[in-house]
């Protein structure tokens, strides 16, 4: 039996809020040095927490005029200080020991998502050729294309495919259509994108995980 497990990245293998904190920290270092500012991190975080545009609030509060592109360049290109949780490492190590084929399918910019995966040390568990990023393939979820990469690469009569994600708006429609088993990791309250389980069946996972370690009960 050939088992193939494909993971989403953000809010699945790590918490995306940690990337946000890392980016705000990097922005604070760069901007405080360049413009002689102070308390930039606190202002960015407070603005985000209040649902405001953090970049606009920064410009307004300090009377500066930094372009959105300059903000986003620092945000997207910095080397993030993020890490896999103990539970996530446990799951990945167990799957590797079971000789399960592993991959990542994530939406986003290639350089940003690649930096995240490198910082997380995912190459220890998942070959880099199986880091599939939407910008590189020209399609975002719920397109079938990223999922089909794995289905075609590991095709056999005895192959079983699994997708683990968190976003109920786009993660599960394609794997469901392809007859994969799909797993949704429940939001612990810190997800960037909130989950909505009152959608049509085609959008919903076949299984819900309270903790990523629960995945090992199925695979």
| pLDDT bracket for residue 7 (50, 70, 90) | very high
Give the residue-averaged pLDDT of 3-23.
98
Domain termination residue (choose one: 36, 61, 77): 77
For the whole model, what pTM was predicted? 0.95
The verdict on 107 and 39 lying in the same domain is no
Report how far residue 161's alpha carbon sits from residue 164's, in angstroms, rounded to the nearest whole number: 10
**Are 142 and 170 within 8 A, CB to CB?**
yes
Task: Please write the tens of the pLDDT for every residue from 113-146.
Answer: 999 999 999 999 999 999 999 999 999 999 999 9
DSSP 128-169: GGGEEEHHHHT--TT-SHHHHHHHHHT--TTEEEEEEE--TT
Alpha-helical segments (H) within the chain: 16-35, 40-49, 54-62, 68-77, 86-97, 110-120, 134-137, 145-153, 173-177
Q: Is the pLDDT of residue 1 over 80?
A: no
Q: Specify whether 30 is located in the same domain as 104.
A: no
Cis ω for the linkage preceding 142 (within 30 of 0)? yes
Residues 38 and 117 in one domain: no
Residues 118 and 177 occupy one common structural domain:
yes
- The kind and range of the H/E element at 121 are none
Does one domain contain both 94 and 188?
Answer: yes
């Amino acid at each position: 039996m050939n088992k193939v497990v494909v993971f989403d990245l953000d809010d699945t293998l790590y918490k995306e809020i940690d990337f946000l904190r890392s980016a705000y920290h990097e922005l604070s270092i760069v901007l405080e040095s360049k413009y002689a500012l102070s308390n930039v991190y606190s202002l960015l975080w407070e603005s985000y927490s209040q649902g405001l545009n953090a970049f606009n609030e920064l410009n307004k509060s300090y009377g500066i005029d930094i372009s959105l592109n300059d903000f986003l360049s620092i945000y997207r290109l910095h080397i993030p200080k993020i890490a896999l949780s103990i539970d996530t490492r446990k799951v990945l190590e167990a799957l590797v020991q079971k000789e399960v084929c592993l991959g990542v399918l994530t939406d986003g910019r290639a350089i940003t998502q690649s930096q995240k995966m490198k910082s997380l040390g995912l190459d220890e568990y998942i070959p880099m050729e199986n880091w599939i990023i939407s910008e590189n393939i020209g399609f975002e979820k719920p397109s079938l294309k990223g999922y089909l990469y794995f289905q075609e690469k590991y095709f056999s009569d005895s192959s079983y495919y699994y997708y683990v994600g968190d976003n109920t708006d786009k993660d599960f429609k394609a794997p469901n259509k392809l007859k994969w088993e799909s797993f949704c990791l429940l939001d612990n309250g810190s997800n960037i994108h909130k989950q909505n389980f009152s959608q049509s069946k085609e959008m919903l996972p076949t299984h819900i995980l309270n903790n990523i370690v629960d995945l090992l009960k199925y695979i």
